[in-house]
């Protein structure tokens, strides 16, 4: 696999990250945001990056290829209230033309390392559509287990209704 660097997002990534996210929504069947629903501008994304860098319970790691292009991201956040702030939720994606080349595994490994070094986060949670076999295979290979399922929580444009699965790991 071509060289991939995993690093924390920087303010200067805002514009490229926005273009990346827009492209991911256009090329992924298993996300909640449909193509055309994404409306965040560059300044809003820049402020989002500021928050990610300033908050102890937030993180955004991005994968860059040898040319510096963003080919993946993983975004984690906590509810900062005392009783639940030990639980991080995350979402992740890899650029369509780089899927199944190990980028997702690298990003998730970096997130798990970040959590292990964190002073108060102890649990990692995620939501995944029941028909997203690729993502579930990745999470299961890291030891994530199924904790529950929300019935019929997702309805696609073609009328298909699928469950939303909650998976978790205590690293």
Ligand X SMILES: CC(C)(COP(=O)(O)OP(=O)(O)OC[C@H]1O[C@@H](n2cnc3c(N)ncnc32)[C@H](O)[C@@H]1OP(=O)(O)O)[C@@H](O)C(=O)NCCC(=O)NCCS
Minimum distance from residue 35 beta carbon to ligand X (Å): 13
Cβ-in-10-Å burial (0-12, 13-18, 19+) of 95 comes to buried
Minimum distance from residue 73 beta carbon to ligand X (Å): 9
Binding footprint of ligand X on the chain (CB under 6 A): 28, 30-31, 92-94, 99-105, 126, 128, 132-135, 137-138, 141
User: 11 or 145, CB closer to ligand X?
Assistant: 145
Closest-by-Cβ residue to ligand X is 104
| Strand ranges inside the chain, DSSP E | 4-8, 58-65, 70-78, 87-94, 123-129, 145-155, 161-169
Query: Is the CB of residue 20 less than 8 Å from the CB of residue 28?
Result: no
Minimum distance from residue 2 beta carbon to ligand X (Å): 13
User: 47 or 99, CB closer to ligand X?
Assistant: 99
User: 18 or 132, CB closer to ligand X?
Assistant: 132
User: 76 or 104, CB closer to ligand X?
Assistant: 104
Tokens of 74: 């993983």
Diameter over CA atoms, the chain: 44
Minimum distance from residue 161 beta carbon to ligand X (Å): 17
Q: Which candidate, 56, 25, 57, places its Cα nearest to that of 40? A: 25
């Amino acid at each position: 696999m071509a060289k991939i660097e995993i690093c924390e997002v920087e303010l200067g990534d805002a514009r490229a990250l926005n273009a990346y996210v827009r492209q991911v929504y256009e090329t992924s069947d298993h996300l909640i945001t449909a193509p055309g629903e994404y409306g965040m501008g560059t300044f809003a994304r820049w402020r989002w990056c500021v928050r990610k860098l300033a908050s102890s319970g937030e993180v955004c790691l991005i994968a860059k290829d040898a040319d510096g292009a963003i080919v993946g991201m993983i975004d984690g956040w906590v509810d900062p209230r005392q009783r639940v702030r030990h639980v991080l939720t995350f979402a992740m994606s890899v650029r369509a033309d780089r899927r199944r080349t190990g980028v997702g595994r690298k990003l998730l490994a970096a997130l798990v390392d970040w959590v292990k070094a964190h002073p108060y986060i102890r649990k990692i949670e995620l939501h995944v559509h029941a028909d997203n076999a690729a993502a579930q295979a990745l999470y299961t290979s890291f030891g994530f287990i199924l904790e529950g399922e929300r019935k019929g929580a997702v309805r696609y444009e073609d009328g298909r209704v699928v469950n939303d699965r909650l998976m978790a790991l205590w690293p």
